Amino acid sequence: MPPTPRPEATPRPEARPGRARPAGRPAARPVVLVTGASSGIGEAVADRFAADGRWRLLLGGRDEERLATVAGRTGGGALRADLAERAGVERLAAEALEREGRVDTLVASAGIGWAGPFIRMPADAVDRLITLNVTSVVHLVRLLLPQMAERGVGRVVMIGSMAGRVGVRNEAVYAATKGALLAFADSLRYELAGTRVGVTVVLPGAVDTPFFTRRGVPYHRRHPRPVSPERVADVVWDAVVRGRDDVFVPSWLGMPARLHGAVPGFFRAMAKRFG
């Protein structure tokens, strides 16, 4: 088995110019904060980073009981937070920084869905999707990015969706929220150019999690087949370690994404025909 690569986002405060690590003092392990860690992709991401063994974990989530279970299994610190309110986002960021002093990698995986014709979508469902999938992510990054930029190292990982790249019938607002993350990520990359702070967007297709049950409509498409949350978590971990930007899960989804960009009219015609 090849040796595991060292995390790209691992800070080495003692190695910064003008600071030598005292003899015998071990290098601090990097800190990763995972939102939505009480279930689904977030829970799988927590397990994957815990298996790596070189990270200090902070786990954000709403379900206190499930979050405690994940924290107990992974050795992470449980931070109960409701990201539907800005106060909850601010509290999560403050508690994370107070507990560990810094966050080296943020994995923003909390989010919700809604499926059905847009003309029948309730107004409060629109607001809730935008708040949880976009607004809370933007505010959390706003609160954590400055300390990454000041130290000159870090990574922001956002869990997007293939829906945000190409659009999906009957998921207009969900797709819009995930598309917003792509534009947000690109804009941040321009601002962070020349630094060692990176931005990653992970774009899965369907993932076998409680997401579809919670949105009220089961997954019904024959293709693509849902992948496991553990597979997504592996990609998240690999993207952090290797410093990758946009990554698709499974990787072949990059092909229709490129087709959509190159010949959007043809892609839309096929999507209308085959759904």
Identify whether 219 is a catalytic site residue: no
Nearest 10 degrees: Cα torsion 174, 178, 180, 184: 160
CA atoms within 13 A on the CB side of 171: 25
Cα separation of 135 and 225, whole Å? 30
Task: Answer for the pair 44, 36: CB distance below 8 angstroms, yes or no.
Answer: no
Catalytic residue among 49, 55, 174, 267: 174
Instruction: Tell me which residue of 74, 184, 90 sits closest to 130, measured CA to CA.
Output: 184
Burial class (CB in 10 A: 0-12, 13-18, 19+), 230: middle
Q: Which two tokens stand for residue 246?
A: 């946009």
Positions annotated as catalytic residues are 174
